[in-house]
Structures are given as C-alpha cells and as structure tokens.
Amino acid sequence: MTTTTLLRHWLGEHREDGMPQESGAALKSDRFYYYAIQDAAFAIYAELPITKPAAVSAAAAVLGVRGNGGLKAPPDEIDVVAIQGDKVYFIAASGAVKTTPIPACEKVWKQMMAKPVDKKDPRGDMIREDHAMAAFTACFAKEAPSQSWFAAVVKKAQSQLELLPLH
C-alpha cells in the first residue's frame, strides 16, 4: 500500500524509464509492475475485466509473467491495483492460475523469431526478441477472452480485489 501523493511523485521519478505519468495509464503498463512492485521484469499478457467497487476511483487487474530471464511462458500471475481516496493498494498472486498456450499466438512468436537479425546492431538478437514478445503478447491479449480458462482467471482477479481492505 502507498499513497496517491507518493505514487504521483514516483511516476515522475520514472518518467525517463518510459513510465506513463497518469495513474490510470500506469496501472496498464508492464513498466509499472516491474519498477513499482518487485525487482523482476513483468510482461502483461492481458488486462482482466474486473468490476470496480463503487468506493474505488481506479482499479486494474492484469495477467502476466514475472521473471529475470525470458518472459515467454504460460502466464500465471495476477496483479491487482486499486486506488481509493489517497490510498493505493496492490496485491500479486503468483502461480495463481493455470493457462494454456494459444496456438495462433505461438505461430506469431515463431514467425517473428524467424525474421533475420540486424547483424550491424549489437543488440539485434534482443531487438528481434522484444518485437516478437510485443507481437506475441498483443495476440495473447486479443485471443485470451475466448479461451476456456479466461473466465476462471477473471474470477480469481476479482477475488483478489475483494481481499484488499477497501471500505
């Protein structure tokens, strides 16, 4: 938990890291969950449509993968943030849900990783993988709502939100 004042200050401190400066946009950014929450990279695979309690000014839930290596794996972490008054609440549930690969998105990943690497750029391999990951997670976000496991993931996110001390 923190305060909205500290959150605004912190967002300003991370402006150069590409952090969105508006709190609602920040809550939908993988950079927020990386820098603010734990010192491990985080990739958002999908935003989860939770029902915001009436007393809350903003709430967001995301499904993703956290780690210090590659972030391409079945997403199993739900992060939920809610802002009520001047308080900002956060809860992360790692290993909370079971998802399965989405074949169409696996195909997108393979196609992107098959593209040639820019040999002139020393970061060519990383840049190709970053582009592949962006395309893969965009596909995942689009396709996730039609997956058999999605309703259970949203239900879990909603139950996580209800664990927060909102009143």
- Residue 46's pLDDT is 96
Quick check: 1 pLDDT over 90? no
**Length reported for the chain:** 167
Quick check: 50 pLDDT over 80? yes
Q: Taking a C-beta distance cutoff of 8 angstroms, is the pair 32, 26 a contact?
A: yes
Report pTM. Answer: 0.90
Quick check: 20 pLDDT over 90? yes
Burial (CB count within 10 angstroms: exposed 0-12, middle 13-18, buried 19+), residue 71? buried
The closest of 149, 157, 112 to 134, measured between CA atoms, is: 112
- Residue 74's pLDDT is 93
Q: Phi and psi dihedrals of 56, rounded to 5?
A: -105, 135
pLDDT in tens, 28-40: 998 898 887 776 8
Name all contacts of 152-155 with Cβ < 8 Å and 24+ positions apart.
152/97, 153/48, 153/63, 153/78, 153/97, 153/99, 154/48, 154/49, 154/50, 154/61
Quick check: 167 pLDDT over 80? no
Q: Beta partners for 79?
A: 62, 92
Classify residue 85 as left (phi > 0), alpha (psi -120 to 50) or beta. Answer: left
Report, as an integer, the average pLDDT of 66-77: 89
Q: Phi and psi dihedrals of 69, rounded to 5?
A: -120, -140
pLDDT in tens, 100-133: 999 999 999 999 999 998 888 888 888 899 999 9
Dihedral sign computed on CA atoms, order 144, 145, 148, 149: positive
Burial (CB count within 10 angstroms: exposed 0-12, middle 13-18, buried 19+), residue 117? middle
Q: Give SS3 for 59.
A: strand
Q: How far apart are CA 88 and CA 57, in angstroms?
A: 10
